[in-house]
Structure 1
Amino acid sequence: MTPDTPPPALARITALPSWLLGRAAARGHRLLADSFAGEGMRLPHHVVLTAVAALGPVSQAELGRTVRIDPKDMVTVLNELQAGGLVTRTADPADRRKNAIAISPAGRTVLHRLEELGDAANDELLAPLDPSERAQLTALLTRIVHARDGSAGTER
């Protein structure tokens, strides 16, 4: 038995899709986190930079809701990105009590680098699969992620 082979007593649980998805997700997160760390970035930095680039100037509250980051954690992430010159915070012209978050030119450069690193990490994660299997896995995972429970119409 190798370190990657579970003992026979655990064969049932380690064959469950939920267990396998969790292990694959953990490996994917680890690959991304390790590659981003080389740039001094973390996964939340990538998520926030991506969202700010896509949404344009956006309120801090809307940004947090969109990317599902707790407000106090969002403050930390934005402080770090602002300290690095990657985002700007300005008073929202529609409501001076709110901040409008925008990506800076340096932020766009870093985001492009993180996208390259993310693509490489995902290529490493999916290396055992051929291109058609990768597409099929992505399609199946998308269906799972977007499945509805049928009772309240909310995502699981």
Structure 2
Amino acid sequence: MTRAEHPRALAHIQSLPSWLAGRVAAHGRSLVTRAIAEEGLKLTHHAVLAAVCEYGPVAQADLVRQLGFDAKDVVLLVNHLEDAGLAVRAADPRDRRKNAVTVTPAGVETLERCAALAERANAEFLAPLSEAEGRQLMELLTRVYEV
């Protein structure tokens, strides 16, 4: 194939909804990533901390299943959260052979600040839209995602 045979190949790819959705997602992720970096966390740290807060005390293996992260990555993420004083490992009250992760009070405070930072980043992300358009976008994205 030559350029003359397919002069608009890239334009075609860039016109696909899946391409645009990926670019939009990358932009939104970038905004949130920069925002929560103020707390010294990455998106994956934020997700683990949120899961620990919601489900804790929780075994690391359960975090792996709930988040769909690699087990080695979860260990490193929990290590970071523990070193920062945001989570602790202790014997799992349901099975003393396992460790469970629990959020600390400092972790809860950090999670609350991260939530506020993420909300502000998402407000910036949706700023080109009216409030009604933002709601409509969320409804449409949810519908496409849930298929």
* TM exceeding 0.5: yes
What does the per-residue CA deviation read over 1:28-65, in whole Å, with 9 as the maximum and x for residues that have no partner?
Answer: 11111111222211001111111111113111111111
Q: State the distance in 1 between where 2:93 and 2:109 align.
A: 27
TM-score calculated relative to the size of structure 2: 0.90
What does the per-residue CA deviation read over 1:101-135, in whole Å, with 9 as the maximum and x for residues that have no partner?
Answer: 11110000000010011001111111111111111
1:143: which partner in 2?
Answer: 143
**Relative contact order higher in (CA < 8 Å, ≥ 6 apart):** 2
1:18: which partner in 2?
Answer: 18
2:41 is aligned with 1:28? no
Instruction: Give the structure with the larger helix fraction.
Output: 2
Identity of aligned residues (%): 50
TM-score calculated relative to the size of structure 1: 0.85
The within-5 A match list for 1:35-114 is 35-114=35-114
Q: Number of residues paired by the alignment?
A: 141
Q: State the distance in 2 between where 1:80 and 1:108 align.
A: 15
Query: How far off is 1:100 after superposition?
Result: 1.1
Which letter maps to 1:14? Answer: Q
SS in 2 for 1:128: coil
Q: Which aligned runs of 4 or more in structure 1 are off by greater than 4 angstroms?
A: none
Q: State the distance in 1 between where 2:10 and 2:128 align.
A: 23
In the alignment, structure 2 segments of 5+ residues that lack a partner are 1-7
SS in 1 for 2:127: coil
Query: How far off is 1:9 after superposition?
Result: 6.2
RMSD: 1.5
Greater Cα offset, 66-75 or 93-102: 93-102
Greater Cα offset, 16-25 or 52-61: 52-61
Whether contact under 8 Å (2:90, 2:100) holds in the other structure is: yes
In the alignment, structure 1 segments of 5+ residues that lack a partner are 1-7, 148-156
